A and B are shown apart, each in its own frame.
Chain A
Amino acid sequence: MIETLALVRLQSIINHAMWHPIVALHIPDGFLNFPVIAVTWVIAIGLIALALRKVQDEYQDRTVPLMGVCAAFIFAAQMINFPIPGGTSGHLLGGTLAGALLGPWAGSLVMSVVFIVQAVVFQDGGITVMGANIFNMGLIGTFGGYYLFRAIRNGIGRDKLQGMVVGTAIAAWVSVMVAAIVCAFELALSEAVPLQVALIAMMSWHVLIGIGEALITVATVTFIWRTRPDLFYRAPHRAITSTPRSLSIR
């Protein structure tokens, strides 16, 4: 009995270790030096402060419950194992998904909240480098991902599922890659890992991770498009007229 338990425990450790460095966008403590820490913290705090204000303006007294449950949603979704073509399995990061569903500000706020909880409560990513992690995935992954997605979607047609699918697929893959590259530069600037090594390692992993990210994002977005299209941040026009995003009043 005890052996079985130990085995299960070991397996979970191995599983976690297998995917986690892949999602090495959660930089641990000790890898970054002062200038990088300082700059990314300033940007991250600015982002959170601005996002809080923007989200408060848009959602008003719905801010706390909606952002809270959505952050819990991203956190839960990140834990789900997802088979990637080629035999490995991946996990969602969720930046582009959060952006497409909630918009750039609420999306990056939710992602930042997820990173804060992961770092403070679960030691998933360091606390001194939390600024950098929020910068990479909250700002570049979500904000960047959202605007790339939006541009592509607008190009194909806002009211077409095809625009949604192509937009989120490309944005999800690109945002993961760019975040990985930025992460590699941060490690190199801090003189922790040589740039070449960092770039090769990060990019070769994240080519695959990006594909997984794109697949999960597309599958999720397609489902929501078919069931509750009104829930998208910029809903297709037909959905806006039929049911509003929220029925409750203040």
Chain B
Amino acid sequence: MMLLHGGAFSLAIDNQRSTPWQDLTPQARILCVVIMAMAIALTPNGHWLTWGTYSIGILSTVLVSQVTLSVLLQRLAVELSFVSVVLLGTLFREGGDILWQWGIVSITTTGLTILGSVTLKALLSLLLLNVLTLTTPVTDLLQGLKTLKTPVLLVAILASMYRYLGVLIEEFNAMRRAAVSRNLMIGRRWQRLVVGNMIGSLFIRTYERGERVHQAMLSRGYQGLPFFQESPKNTGYDLIALSLTVLFAIAGQVAYWVV
């Protein structure tokens, strides 16, 4: 069992710094990232100059926000490793000149173009998102989503999920330790049964916990309408940053056609 998201609760290690990026309200940061991610994703394959332009902007955001580079690189390495296998699939296709052939497997120029394009897109998007999560605590992200007109009910569910994630993972680890200490994790068939039972009993405990949480909420006056504290108001600075982001996204596209 591997707790890959173990660092979940020390995510936003760089949120205390005061930089032009951190001075933006969370909602503005989310919007900037989404605009850029969309622009990157929608750029047709092979528009290298556009991505070149974007990468300058994104790398300077990385520098400006002063995120801890070692952490950023570590996270990127892990995340890119998920992408890599899907990426390989993009390589083998027909079209363009054949560069290398072995039986029916061939690598073509089209294949290489797509591989390169998709890799760049994935890499740039991941960079952006990592900057966002390294500089913005989850609670701020939730506030931001609420300001951006995400249904309050959905934001409340997200908040409640985030709160109980750590509790449930700890509960499961306790169960697993108990099973290991009784030598129950020996043998794969036995292990399947034990893990199945643990997931089952985790669900029962979860549901009962949900009931108790509901009672605790009721006893503090909850009537089905989640309230949130007021989010920071949009500032003029946000507006400038957003306009710049949009202009930059367009400029990147124009760069391809002009040059």
A and B touch in the complex (CB under 8 A): yes
Structural contact, A123 and B207, CB atoms closer than 8 A = no
A68: Cβ under 8 A from any B Cβ: yes
Structural contact, B191 and A123, CB atoms closer than 8 A = no
Q: In the complex, which residue of chain A has the Cβ closest to the Cβ of B34? A: A127
B63: Cβ under 8 A from any A Cβ: no
Q: A76-B165, A246-B211 are in contact. Are A68 and B4 (CB under 8 A)?
A: no
Interchain CA distance A218-B163 in the complex, whole Å: 28
Interchain CA distance A50-B120 in the complex, whole Å: 36
A134: Cβ under 8 A from any B Cβ: no
* Option from A80, A127, A194 in Cβ contact (under 8 Å) with B92: A194
Q: Which residues of B contact A69 (CB under 8 A)?
A: 160-161, 164, 168, 206-207, 209-210, 213
- The number of residues on chain A lying at the interface, defined by a beta carbon within 8 Å of a beta carbon of chain B, is 86
B239: Cβ under 8 A from any A Cβ: no
B114: Cβ under 8 A from any A Cβ: yes
Q: Nearest Cβ distance between residue A48 and chain B, in whole angstroms?
A: 7
A169: Cβ under 8 A from any B Cβ: no
Q: Which residues of B contact A28 (CB under 8 A)?
A: 79, 82-83, 86, 122, 125-126
* Option from A29, A52, A193 in Cβ contact (under 8 Å) with B41: A29
Structural contact, B122 and A31, CB atoms closer than 8 A = yes
- Residues 120-137 of chain A, each 1 if its beta carbon lies under 8 Å from chain B, else 0: 111110111100000000
Q: Nearest Cβ distance between residue B156 and chain A, in whole angstroms?
A: 5
Interchain CA distance A220-B4 in the complex, whole Å: 22
Interchain CA distance A193-B87 in the complex, whole Å: 8
Q: Nearest Cβ distance between residue B187 and chain A, in whole angstroms?
A: 9
Interchain CA distance A22-B120 in the complex, whole Å: 22
Structural contact, B200 and A227, CB atoms closer than 8 A = yes
- Of residues 190 through 213 on chain B, the ones whose CB sits less than 8 Å from some CB of chain A are 191-193, 195-204, 206-207, 209-211, 213
Interchain CA distance A67-B206 in the complex, whole Å: 10
Structural contact, B82 and A20, CB atoms closer than 8 A = yes
- Of residues 99 through 158 on chain B, the ones whose CB sits less than 8 Å from some CB of chain A are 114, 117-122, 124-126, 129-130, 133, 138, 141, 151, 153-154, 156-158
Q: A34-B42, A77-B203, A79-B1 are in contact. List 5 more A-B contacts (CB 8 A).
A: A77-B199, A191-B114, A219-B195, A220-B199, A223-B197
Q: Which residues of A contact B192 (CB under 8 A)?
A: 82-83, 215-216, 219
B174: Cβ under 8 A from any A Cβ: no
* Option from B138, B151, B214 in Cβ contact (under 8 Å) with A66: B214
Secondary structure class of chain B's binding surface, majority of residues: helix
Q: Nearest Cβ distance between residue B39 and chain A, in whole angstroms?
A: 10
Among B93, B172, B196, B201, which residue has the most Cβ atoms of chain A within 10 A? B196
Interchain CA distance A5-B237 in the complex, whole Å: 43
Q: In the complex, which residue of chain A has the Cβ closest to the Cβ of B117? A: A30
Structural contact, A31 and B118, CB atoms closer than 8 A = yes
Structural contact, A81 and B86, CB atoms closer than 8 A = no
Q: A123-B79, A220-B200, A227-B201 are in contact. Are A72 and B206 (CB under 8 A)?
A: yes
List B residues at the A interface (Cβ < 8 Å).
1-5, 8, 11, 33-34, 37-38, 40-42, 45, 74-75, 77-79, 81-86, 89-90, 92-94, 114, 117-122, 124-126, 129-130, 133, 138, 141, 151, 153-154, 156-165, 167-169, 172, 188, 191-193, 195-204, 206-207, 209-211, 213-215, 217-218, 222-224, 226
Structural contact, B2 and A231, CB atoms closer than 8 A = no
Q: In the complex, which residue of chain A has the Cβ closest to the Cβ of B197? A: A223
* Option from A34, A62, A197 in Cβ contact (under 8 Å) with B93: A197
Structural contact, A67 and B157, CB atoms closer than 8 A = yes
- Residues 76-94 of chain A, each 1 if its beta carbon lies under 8 Å from chain B, else 0: 1101111101000000100
Q: Which residues of B contact A237 (CB under 8 A)?
A: none
* Option from B45, B122, B153 in Cβ contact (under 8 Å) with A52: B153
Interchain CA distance A66-B216 in the complex, whole Å: 12
A174: Cβ under 8 A from any B Cβ: no
Q: In the complex, which residue of chain B has the Cβ closest to the Cβ of A89? A: B188
Structural contact, B160 and A73, CB atoms closer than 8 A = no
Interchain CA distance A61-B3 in the complex, whole Å: 32
* Option from B138, B191, B201, B203 in Cβ contact (under 8 Å) with A83: B191
Interchain CA distance A9-B85 in the complex, whole Å: 20
Q: In the complex, which residue of chain B has the Cβ closest to the Cβ of A61? A: B224
Q: Which residues of B contact A215 (CB under 8 A)?
A: 192, 196
18 examples of A-B residue contacts, CB within 8 angstroms? A52-B151, A61-B223, A65-B214, A68-B163, A113-B154, A117-B162, A121-B162, A122-B133, A123-B129, A127-B34, A127-B125, A215-B196, A216-B192, A216-B196, A219-B192, A219-B199, A231-B207, A248-B218
